[in-house]
Structure 1
């Protein structure tokens, strides 16, 4: 377990850097997003319940309606050009920040399998 924790900590540190470079403008430093414009990631039921769709969205972008915590959002997120490792790292950061405790440790291999489904 300790080795997994060390891997998670390192992944989250890298993921925080990716988040600060690519995600913070819309989803904010506190992960709460922008009301009615960009959905929250903190305590977000969509993220918790749709890990595979979230991974695909981080990798390939997303558009169209989605409901997060009972609020409908209809904005677009462009593909960010992230590697599978960067996607895994930012997902590990998001899944374990702002009180989130979502999912399992995500690897670049997990991302590859998910986006190829």
Structure 2
């Protein structure tokens, strides 16, 4: 089963290299408040981290891989608790989780990112794909560490 999941992840990564990346103008056009404008640099840094660390499993548009990797887009699990999301990156997970009514059992390894990188990548994820626009700070991450 583990070889199957790794194979899926590698195929997904290879397919992503053939897809044309969408321009950043879509994100820029969605900014409507001064508060959101101030988070744009953090989210832009987070996009770079996401593309290097998270995209192979959770996909370019946050939809995940059904049956293997949960979606981050419009994720009830993610939007319910930012502290749980921070802990997920810091510690990884071995147990089953339910996202948008579907159970996922694939382990997630902890990510070797610093507090700023975790804050940036989560701010990017929360700023996109129908999520709740939460802004994560390095101080929030440090508190959970």
The two structures have a TM-score, normalised by structure 2, of 0.73
Once the two structures are superposed, the pairs formed by residues 29-48 of structure 1 within 5 Å of their partners are 29-48=60-79
RMSD: 1.4
Alpha-carbon distance between aligned partners in 1 of 2:128 and 2:48, rounded to the nearest angstrom: 13
Give per-residue Cα distances to partners, 1:53-88, cap 9 Å, x unaligned: 111111221221000000000111112200000000
Structure 2's unaligned 5+ residue stretches are: 1-32
Once the two structures are superposed, the pairs formed by residues 20-99 of structure 1 within 5 Å of their partners are 20-99=51-130
* Deviation of 1:5 (Å): 3.1
Larger relative contact order (Cα-Cα within 8 Å, sequence gap ≥ 6): 1
SS of the equivalent of 1:23 reads: helix
Q: Which runs of 4+ in 1 moved over 2 A?
A: 4-7
Alpha-carbon distance between aligned partners in 1 of 2:133 and 2:124, rounded to the nearest angstrom: 10
* Deviation of 1:50 (Å): 2.2
Match of 2:140? 110
* Deviation of 1:114 (Å): 2.3
Which range moves more in the overlay, 22-31 or 94-103? 94-103
Which range moves more in the overlay, 11-20 or 59-68? 59-68
Match of 2:30? none
* Deviation of 1:102 (Å): 4.0
Once the two structures are superposed, the pairs formed by residues 7-18 of structure 1 within 5 Å of their partners are 7-18=38-49
